[in-house]
């Protein structure tokens, strides 16, 4: 994350030239901090990697659905991949045009399907046979044609971290290819359905461009079959999963350009070049992950046996990924102290043994009151926050140019108190 850099003059970490201690003093800790310019750079890099092909970047907003981030991406031309009626509402409110919104997910409710049809989104991504029946029935009732894409499961190993693969690679996602093939005639014949695309998403943090190319080749060949069967196929959606570096990789990932190229190569390999397909991608993490960090303050340093526990004011409530997946996030002091680097468990105040941000992590000396930065938390950080232990949601700020703006005020304890109680 090149935008969180050491400012030599100030002797501390800064984000786009803005000192992190200033932000911490003014908004308190813990706080999520984002760089608008980093988000913009990521969007442009992904977008450029797909050119010269016709394409659309549908941001997987589950990674971070903050309205200000959505508005920024909307202004750059991004679409959205939504997974609930709530996300669809937010995407539309942020000004993302409906024709640039796709709707994924295995469990869409009738109300959500009706909402998507009313909004006239680009495509509903179908993940099961019974879902097709429901979409068709609701579309008939409304007297409209539902634009759909079939999300197929190309059965390609994404070569990702097992913790993330388990989360997304269960059998619950997508249609098996032979099921999709069997459904094809009935979809083509239906006057309530228009099959406009084939989609896949092989996983998050995909280890390389090759698995993506393999998956796209399979999907493209199926798209060709669908077109030959009479479906008005115009899009191939290669899903998201483009990786970012968290700091514990043995070797760097291929650059994003390679991922864009892999999709184009996969379409050719699948024999679908002549379909003139629009390439759709659904990156979430790649768009915002690197652009964010969490500022946290050391509350206590506790030596227990041979262990050093650094207890900070951020916790699994602000960043669930270490607890949930054993995920690695680099953690660095905002102002470095001289001294030996030794191992520490960096933990939060939440009453769970699993509430840790890092285990056995080499760390220079730190003292009560020191500020730390948890890196690469822009994706699936604030988005997965909870209020467990009656902890108010943390503040969020975005740095734009040489100023920052609070885009979520820290919740007050009064805000948490259940309405109706």
Residues that bind ligand LLP (CB under 6 A): 60, 63, 81, 104, 164, 167-168, 201, 204, 239-242, 282-286, 321, 379-380
Distance of CA 321 to the CA centre of its chain: 12
Judged by CB, which is closer to ligand LLP: 358, or 366? 358
Supply 209's token pair: 């461009």
Judged by CB, which is closer to ligand LLP: 154, or 239? 239
Supply 331's token pair: 């953690």
- Residue 343 Cβ vs ligand LLP, minimum distance, rounded to whole Å: 25
Question: What gap in Å lies between CA 264 and CA 262, rounded to an integer?
Answer: 5
Q: Mind telling me the catalytic residues?
A: 351
Element (H, E) at 60: strand 55-60
- Residue 153 Cβ vs ligand LLP, minimum distance, rounded to whole Å: 11
**CB within 8 Å of 78: residues ≥ 6 apart:** 43, 57, 58, 59, 96, 100, 287
Block residue for tokens 């998956």: 215
Which alpha helices (DSSP H) does 94-202 contain, by range? 110-119, 129-142, 162-168, 177-189
Question: What gap in Å lies between CA 349 and CA 316, rounded to an integer?
Answer: 9
Judged by CB, which is closer to ligand LLP: 102, or 395? 102
Binding residues: 241, 282-285, 321, 325, 352, 380
- Residue 121 Cβ vs ligand LLP, minimum distance, rounded to whole Å: 15
Question: What gap in Å lies between CA 400 and CA 406, rounded to an integer?
Answer: 11
Question: What gap in Å lies between CA 295 and CA 313, rounded to an integer?
Answer: 9
Question: What gap in Å lies between CA 283 and CA 316, rounded to an integer?
Answer: 24
Binding residues for substrate: 285, 321, 325, 352, 380
Query: Are 378 and 290 contacting, i.e. CB atoms less than 8 angstroms apart?
Result: yes
Residue 81 main-chain phi, psi, to 5 deg: -105, 115
Element (H, E) at 404: strand 403-408
- DSSP character string of 71-82: HHHHHHT-EEEE
Element (H, E) at 310: strand 307-312
């Amino acid at each position: 994350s090149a935008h969180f850099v050491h400012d030599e003059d100030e002797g501390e970490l800064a984000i786009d030239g803005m000192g992190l201690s200033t932000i911490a003093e003014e908004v308190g800790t813990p706080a999520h901090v984002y760089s608008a310019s980093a988000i913009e750079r990521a969007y442009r890099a992904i977008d450029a990697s797909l050119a010269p092909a016709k394409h659309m970047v549908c941001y997987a907003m589950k990674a971070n659905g903050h309205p200000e981030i959505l508005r920024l991406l909307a202004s750059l031309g991004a679409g959205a991949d939504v997974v609930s009626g709530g996300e669809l509402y937010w995407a539309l409110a942020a000004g993302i045009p409906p024709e640039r919104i796709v709707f994924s997910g295995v469990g869409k409710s009738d109300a959500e399907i009706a909402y998507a049809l009313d909004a006239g989104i680009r495509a509903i991504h179908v993940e099961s046979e019974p879902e097709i029946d429901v979409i068709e029935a609701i579309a008939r009732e409304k007297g409209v044609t539902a634009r759909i894409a079939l999300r197929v499961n190309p059965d390609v190993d994404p070569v990702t971290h097992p913790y993330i693969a388990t989360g997304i690679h269960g059998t619950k996602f997508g249609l098996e290819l032979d099921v999709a093939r069997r459904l094809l005639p009935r979809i083509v014949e239906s006057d309530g359905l228009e099959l406009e695309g084939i989609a896949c998403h092989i996983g998050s943090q995909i280890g390389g461009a090759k698995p993506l190319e393999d998956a796209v080749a399979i999907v493209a060949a199926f798209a060709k079959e669908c077109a030959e069967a009479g479906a008005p196929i115009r899009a191939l959606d290669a899903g998201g999963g483009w990786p970012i570096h968290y700091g514990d990789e043995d070797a760097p990932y291929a650059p994003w350009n390679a991922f864009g190229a892999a999709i184009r190569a996969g379409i050719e390999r699948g024999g679908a070049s002549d379909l003139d397909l629009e390439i759709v991608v659904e990156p979430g993490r790649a768009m915002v992950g690197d652009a964010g960090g969490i500022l946290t303050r050391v509350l206590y340093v506790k030596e227990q046996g041979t262990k050093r526990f650094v207890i900070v004011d951020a916790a699994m409530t602000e960043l669930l990924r270490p607890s949930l997946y054993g995920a690695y996030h680099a953690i660095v002091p905002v102002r470095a102290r001289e001294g030996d680097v030794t191992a520490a468990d960096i933990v939060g105040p939440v009453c769970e043994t699993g509430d840790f941000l890092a285990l056995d992590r080499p760390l220079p000396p730190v003292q009560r009151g020191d500020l730390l930065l948890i890196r690469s938390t822009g994706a699936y950080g604030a988005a997965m926050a909870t209020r467990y232990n009656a902890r108010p949601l943390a503040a969020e700020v975005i740095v734009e140019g040489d100023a920052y703006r609070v885009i979520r005020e820290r919740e007050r304890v009064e805000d948490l108190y259940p309405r109706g109680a």
